[in-house]
Structure 1
């Protein structure tokens, strides 16, 4: 049993130290955090991943028929079952993302307040219950604003396209840069909502202010940790693509059509379920990294940790749990 050492959030950290702190936090809290994600977000993630596997299984089974001009393939894409399956898949993938995000941030909040990694799922669940509706509303608002932004860009593009192609290209590039800037600029929204208890718009404005001047470090941190998580999650899907390639080559060499057999359908369900569940667990990486970025920016711009240390100077620490083990 290793000695528990509390990870202090209120520290200004450089890029490398934020990466190290992220992995240290996950290593220290892996079991209780993974347990919380699996038990709270697990049901939605499992249903979403099964629907994802089913969707791709049906889609791949149509590929050979699409090439031969089979009317069955066209009917498949026009069918009610296809669109209802697609809608349900996106619904549960959306819900699983929201619940996973709420679980991660709720866990971090419990750790921050309790100053311990001896955390029960019930404690995390209490936080998730208070966050879930605000997170749903915030994500829907982001999607709505993004859709509105794209709609305006399309209208402007149509007008500029009639005037000059060069103007259209410049406007599209500027819009793309602006969209990415804003997307990174509001990256701290969800944790600010959890930590400071503010609404979406107030949290978005605060996120933009904190990240102002530190956009590249925020983008780099999120990008690198997301890439690491993405690469690890692909371990669960690569065997599936190998299986498809081997099956296709075997069918072609045998002179037959490539058909989606029962074994391939089973593989689709299995590997996509594992892949998506791994992806949701690995969502912890960029999210924890953004939490350390939040506290880093707060320290650099507001020195809240330093002010708290000054206020508590000379006071006994009743919550010191540094001898606790995990």
Structure 2
């Protein structure tokens, strides 16, 4: 067993979940990101390029002369196409990150802290379609819920955040994942919501650190243009330096937020599953009986 092994199948309070999420990332940083780059490498490159092109295409909106006299950017459909490619890339990247992280944790749990990269990659390939299908289905449900006076959307978000761990760890069918997620959070909605909220705030704050270079560069360019009296063309602020900084910051933000969300969803799933079914406790009792 790995000396730094973290037991997933046990009850945890909010503080313990937060502590163990950071501990898991710290002790598994290198092997986890090695597998992530193997599974997301191609899509990551496409995502980088699509964000860069979208930033470049959308910068023309800031040019009042382009809007008034030469709306070619809209007629050509460049902005729409770049946005579509970026959204597809984000969806694929989201599915790959969640699939990789959760299959990594599954291998970690099944082998007492020792991972099998081949099993992880094969599992991601097998479940990617189901993850994307669940993503689209849950997004539709959330949008409808948010349109119905907003509160139903918040309520739905809590159980729907657990559909991916249920898919990976229990091998449930797509629609069964949704029904089982509601059953899992029954009588545990508020603590689950609080955990997701805190994790979301922390991951967002951490991810925003990577936006500082782009924000500082924009401030510097704006201040320089204003002092020189050359602020008549706002689009000049969004040059190639800003595009590079903004692209890198955006991708790193996606990685951080998706990574924290995926890992925390696994801890929340095992915590609720232990409270409902005592799976880890029963396994420990069974293993003790076999060792005697």
TM-score normalized by the length of structure 2:
0.90
Unaligned runs of 5+ in 1: 154-171, 318-326
Alignment of 1:312 with 2:287, yes or no, is: yes
Offset at residue 107 of structure 1 (A): 0.6
Post-superposition offset of 1:262: 9.4
Kindly state the Cα deviation for residue 135 of structure 1 after the two structures are TM-superposed. 0.7
1:111 maps to 2:108: yes
Report 1:287-326 matches (<5 A): 287-316=262-291
Mapped contact 1:50–1:269 kept (Cα < 8 A): no
The equivalent of 1:123 in structure 2 is: 119
- Of 68, 71, 96, the residue aligned with 2:69 is 71
- The structure, 1 or 2, with the larger RCO (C-alpha pairs under 8 Å, 6+ apart) is 1
Report if the CA contact (8 A) 1:234-1:275 is conserved.
no
- How far apart are residue 113 of structure 1 and its match? 1.0
CA deviation profile, 1:46-91 (whole Å, cap 9, x unmatched): 321331132123323431326x85222x442343222111111111
Shift of 1:209: 0.9
**Where does 1:1-326 land on structure 2 (aligned, <5 Å)?**
4-65=3-64, 70-72=68-70, 74-117=71-114, 119-146=115-142, 172=148, 175-256=149-230, 257-258=232-233, 260-261=235-236, 264-316=239-291
Cα displacement (A) at 1:149: 5.6
Q: How far 1:278 moved relative to its partner?
A: 4.3
CA RMSD of aligned residues (A): 2.4
Once the 2 structures are TM-superposed, how far is the Cα of residue 203 of structure 1 from its aligned partner? 1.1
The 1:76–1:87 alpha-carbon spacing in structure 2 relative to 1, beyond 3 Å, is same
2:140 and 2:14 mapped to 1: Cα distance?
33
Segments of structure 2 that go 5 or more residues without pairing to the other structure are: none
Cα displacement (A) at 1:261: 4.9
The answer to whether the 8 A contact 1:193-1:200 is kept is yes
Q: Once the 2 structures are TM-superposed, how far is the Cα of residue 263 of structure 1 from its aligned partner?
A: 8.0
Structure 1 or 2, whichever has the larger Rg, is 1
Using the TM superposition, give the Cα deviation of residue 271 of structure 1 relative to its aligned residue in structure 2, in angstroms: 3.3
d(CA) in 2 for partners of 1:57, 1:69: 15
State how far apart, in whole Å, the 2-side matches of 1:33 and 1:282 are. 15
Q: Give CA-to-partner distance per residue, 1:188-223, whole Å, 9 cap, x none.
A: 100100000011221111111111111121112112
Please give the per-residue CA displacement for 1:226-259, whole angstroms capped at 9, x wherever unaligned.
2222112212212112211211221222222335
Could you list the runs of 4 or more consecutive aligned residues of structure 1 that deviate by over 4 angstroms after TM superposition? 146-150, 259-263
What SS does the corresponding residue of 2:229 show, helix, strand or coil?
coil
Cα 1:121–1:274 shift into 2, 3 Å: farther
Matched positions, count: 290
